[in-house]
Amino acid sequence: MARRRKSKGLWRILRWPALAVVVLVAIPVLLTPIYLFVDPVSVPMLARSLSNRPVDREWRDIADISDRLKASVILSEDGQFCRHWGVDFGALRDEVQNFMAGEDARGASTITMQVARNLFLWNGQSVVRKALEVPLALYIDLVLPKKRIMEIYLNIAEWGPEGQFGVAAGARRAFGIAPQDLDWRTATLLVTALPNPLLRRPGQPSPGMLRIAGIIEGRVMEFGSRANCVGEGGQLSL
């Protein structure tokens, strides 16, 4: 009897945390298949809306976005995007080794992991968040095709300091043009802003941003075929 009462008491303590875990797991499991057809909003977008700050986002289908930008994003952010299953385990292993050695983190987040974070998690450096990104990214890659993952990423990425989300808002703010009209200069400069869109201004690029944009263009010219999985008919027009 005492053991049974102890078990009941333990369950009363743990049931609410357990329920919270079940709900947190269920949210991405249920929502990810829905995002095959429904255009999502990100956690940062929701946070801005709830705090009455502006959100500027105009959804664009992937076919209405410059192939130059798509290739530049992949070759800059995640060169193995078309090949891995949501997680670059080689880069992740190196990151874990650096962490264990006490060295600075270098990232290792794939585009799919960034989608997982923006849709379901929080910003800020955290070992817990990184650990959660991995299974979420694997699940997203299992459920969604690569083109849909890229389409979501390009429409939820933060691209400006005043609530600009997605490439349409980013291109309009920086250059006053639509995302399908980006040339090499504007496409690569937009990509250079992604690591820090709150400070980097692609419309007024620094010498460092111009240099990085040139490097990105060179990578696309040499390895652009690695991004073909997000092109129409499996081919990008560069």
Report the mean per-residue pLDDT for the chain. Answer: 87
Distances (CA, A) of 233 to 84, 160, 218: 20, 31, 24
pLDDT band at 88 (very low <50, low <70, confident <90, very high): confident
Q: Which amino acid is at 177?
A: I
pTM over 0.85: yes
Which pLDDT score, from 0 to 100, does residue 162 have? 92
CA 74 – CA 87 distance, rounded (Å): 14
CA 221 – CA 225 distance, rounded (Å): 9
Asked if pLDDT for residue 106 goes beyond 80, the answer is: no
Which pLDDT score, from 0 to 100, does residue 86 have? 94
Report which of 77, 134, 126, 135 is spatially closest to residue 99, judged by C-alpha positions.
126
Render 123-160 in DSSP notation, one character per residue.
-S--HHHHHHHHHHHHHHHHHS-HHHHHHHHHHHSB-S
Q: Residues of the chain with pLDDT > 90: what percent?
A: 69
Which pLDDT score, from 0 to 100, does residue 130 have? 83
Asked if pLDDT for residue 95 goes beyond 70, the answer is: no
Q: Are 120 and 27 in contact (CB under 8 A)?
A: yes
Which pLDDT score, from 0 to 100, does residue 128 have? 80
More confidently predicted of 37 and 104: 37
Q: Mean pLDDT throughout 218-235?
A: 92
Asked if pLDDT for residue 7 goes beyond 60, the answer is: no
More confidently predicted of 31 and 1: 31
Query: Token match 């990184």: residue?
Result: 130
CA quadruple 26, 29, 34, 40: dihedral sign:
positive
Largest separation between any pair of C-alpha atoms in the chain: 75
Query: H/E element holding 18?
Result: helix 2-34
Q: Helix, strand, coil proportions of the chain in percent (round to 5)? A: 65, 0, 35
Which pLDDT score, from 0 to 100, does residue 234 have? 83
Dihedrals phi, psi of 165, to nearest 5 degrees: -120, 135
